[in-house]
Amino acid sequence: MLFYVFGIQSELKPYRVFLILAFIITFLDKSFIYYKLNKVFQSFIFIFIYGLLIGLFRIGLGKGELNYLTNPATHYLMGLIIFYLLSNIKNEKCLYKISNYFIIGLLISSLYGFYNFIFVDNNHFRLRGFFNNPNHMAFAINFISPFLIYKIKAQNNKLNFIIFLFFSTVVFFTGSRTGLLLQILLLLYLIIIFSKNIFKVVVSFFLMLISYFIILRPILGLNLNFLSRFELSNIKEASGRLDILDAAISLGIDTFFTGVGIGQYRFYHLDYISSSAYSTLFEYELSTHNHFLDILVNYGFIPFLIFLVIIFKIFIFYFRYLHIDFYKFCLFTLFILVVSSISQEMLNFPMYWAFLSLLTIPFNNNFSYE
């Protein structure tokens, strides 16, 4: 709005203003959350400060670009606010309730996405809902799907089963290759759990897909160009991610993995990309497109190691309590977060921060779902 009215851009988007206000209110209200900075939160603050200082230092030496720092730094700060608000919740029942709210939110986003995809903007060949990035739409569904499977198993509710199948078709229409792979794994896991009803699960899923292709496409003239993303040639290219991996590692070696600063790989991208790389990579100053690579190259080896230790400790915590059904599905969610991070920079994705913070609630506060 500020851009159209006053001709200026602002970092204070509506959801960010809401988060800042929510942070201030809950920070002052000890009845809602634990008034503390847990160790995981402190670790993320250290990673941010390190990446920020390294970035500003190198920019000052003429070896970086301030514009490349501001946006990811802003997203990181919003992520820290999300993490603080959700990871310090006192009541463990809120974890279950918040997960339900995510399901409702994603349902609304999915329905809007299909409406927009079918009736409004058929030129947008990938379904994205309220997300700017269709991959984020797919990953958000991936993140919540283990909880849906948990509800299906615990409640034996057909509605949850229908929602899961609907979400799976949404992931397909987003054109996200990693998202679809993860959703297929989740579907297989659902089939394993309900092996007695395997025929019903498989038939229901494929009937939903067939209905889109045989009924909706001819009647509504749907644009199915997103299917090209699943062609073997495109999958082999992986959108040039392997070429970016080589370039980023080369940059990391040249800088002794001390980090080049938040978002600064983009400044070096064109200088380090191989001449034999995927052609599109020469058109833009791109980012790493990999969460772990982003932390390793931009933030440095020490923050990268700290992040791995955090993930490992959370994994060990849930692995220790595999006999608790809810924790088993929390561990599966952590697995989804880790795998999805291979193809996306997650520090810019609020939903990643939200789910990671929810997973640290039992870890930080010793909750039990016995």
Query: pLDDT value at position 331?
Result: 93
The answer on pLDDT for 198 being more than 80 is no
- Burial (CB count <10 Å: 0-12, 13-18, 19+), residue 15: exposed
Who wins on pLDDT, 350 or 198? 350
Who wins on pLDDT, 87 or 294? 294
C-alpha 225 chain-centroid distance:
24
Angle subtended at Cα 92 by Cα 19 and Cα 165, rounded to the nearest 5 degrees: 80
Model's pTM, two decimal places? 0.85
Locus of tokens 């809602």: 32
3-state SS string for 236-251: HHHHHHHHHHHHHHHH
Alpha-carbon torsion (76, 96, 36, 367), positive or negative: negative
pLDDT, one tens digit per residue, over 47-98 is 999 999 999 999 999 999 999 999 999 999 999 989 988 887 766 677 778 8
Grade residue 25 by pLDDT with cuts at 50, 70 and 90.
low
Grade residue 5 by pLDDT with cuts at 50, 70 and 90.
very low
